[in-house]
Amino acid sequence: MDRRMLLGAGMASALLPRTALGQHRDGQIHETGYLPGDSQEFIALWPDVAPGGAGIHLDLKVTDTVQADGFHVRAVSQIQQPGFFVYRPVAPTGLALLVIPGGGYAAEGGDRGGREIAQYFARLGIISFVLRYRLPGEGWKNRDSVPLQDAQRAMRLIRAGEYGAQKLGVIGFSAGGHLSASLALRHGMTVYDKISGADSIDAKPFIAAHMYPVITMGPGAHPGSRDKLLGENPTPEAIANWSLEKHVGADTPPSFIALAADDDVVPPMPNGIAFYEKLREAAVPSQLHVFEAGGHGFSLHWAQGKPCGAWPELFLSWAGTHGFKV
């Protein structure tokens, strides 16, 4: 089957049975944020209080918009318990992806850049894990490191678990692209105290993909993402520290970037394009695709029938040349 045909197929039908965490009627939001079509196999990242969370009490908030074609577009915030949803393929290949949705660090997409991505790759034999990460502006100590804490911990728990994830990559979307790039650059940085043996496991992605990513915190930054990550009046040091184009090194995994030239939300320059230039300067194997049109957040559903809808094929073709071959 052509991979592009999967977009219109019944994606969830090819996933293995899941452990049910609760029951709900069609269209009704479960108190834990599930909707029909979700994986209901959810693994919490932290056994007790997440780092920097003493005294924080958040009630999960899910807003749900249903489009005319029935596609759910959710935004999730007030995340007390981070973790990941597991999407298991029928025929595992040993390949795995940590999928990181965007949302400007103010919320997270449950479907756009999340569920639909995981279902697509699971259909191809890639076990996929959708990260539900804490949002930095919700009271956590060391706010700027909170998303990276969750991403590192997720990589380690996946590798420690019995998922058959022999080659584990990461793919992030928009602000989730800032987090995937942070993980690619800072997989070995100590951002939390070890709490188990899993925390000694390497968190480096095998490959990394960043879709229309937020990269810089300086001029040309997406202001909402910057304000939520760093606060409304960040220091010059904080801006420089989280402007990821300044921190590319030779230890960065092979990297793929895709974006649209008409993105008026996260300007391609100085974000994704500038990051690509720094990857090339550091001799990191990398590929950049700039589509003429697509805007911001085209993901899969919004890319159907458009040239930017070719990105999954382009990504998988490129990944195959770096040992991540379906």
Burial of residue 68, with CB atoms counted within 10 A of its CB: 0-12 exposed, 13-18 middle, 19 or more buried: exposed
All residue ranges of the chain with pLDDT < 50 are: 1-36
Provide CB contacts within 8 A for 121, sequence distance 6+.
87, 97, 99, 128
Euclidean distance between CA atoms 176 and 147, whole angstroms: 9
**pTM of the predicted model as reported, rounded to 2 decimal places:** 0.89
pLDDT of residue 112: 86
Strand 72-77 vs strand 108-109: parallel, antiparallel, or unpaired? antiparallel
> In degrees rounded to 5, what are phi and psi of residue 266?
-120, 100
Return d(Cα 70, Cα 296) in angstroms, integer.
Answer: 21
Predicted local distance difference test score (pLDDT) of residue 5: 36
Secondary structure, 3-state, the chain: CCHHHHHHCCHHHHECCCCCCCCCCCCCCCCCCCCCCCCCCEEECCCCCCCCCCCCCCCCEEEEEECCCCCEEEEEECCCCCEEEEECECCCCCEEEEEECCCCCCCEECHHHHHHHHHHHHHCCCEEEEEECCCCCCCCCCHHHHHHHHHHHHHHHHHHCCCCCCEEEEEEECHHHHHHHHHHHHCCCCCCCCCCHHHHCCCCCCCEEEECCCCCCCCCCCHHHHHHHHCCCCCHHHHHHCCHHHCCCCCCCCEEEEEECCCCCCCCCCCHHHHHHHHHHCCCCEEEEEECCCCCCCCCHHHCCCHHHHHHHHHHHHHHCCCCCC
Query: How far is 326 from 323, CA to CA, in rounded Å?
Result: 9
In angstroms, rounded to a whole number, what is the distance separating the alpha carbons of residues 151 and 134? 10
Per-residue pLDDT, 38: 64
Q: Using CA of residue 156, residue 196, residue 248, residue 147, what is the dihedral sign? A: positive
> For residues 113 and 174, is the Cβ–Cβ distance under 8 A?
yes
CATH of domain 30-320: 3.40.50.1820
Q: What residue ranges do the domains of the chain occupy?
A: 30-320
Judging by DSSP bridges, how do beta strands 42-44 and 72-77 pair with one another? unpaired
Per DSSP bridges, beta strands 95-100 and 61-66 are unpaired
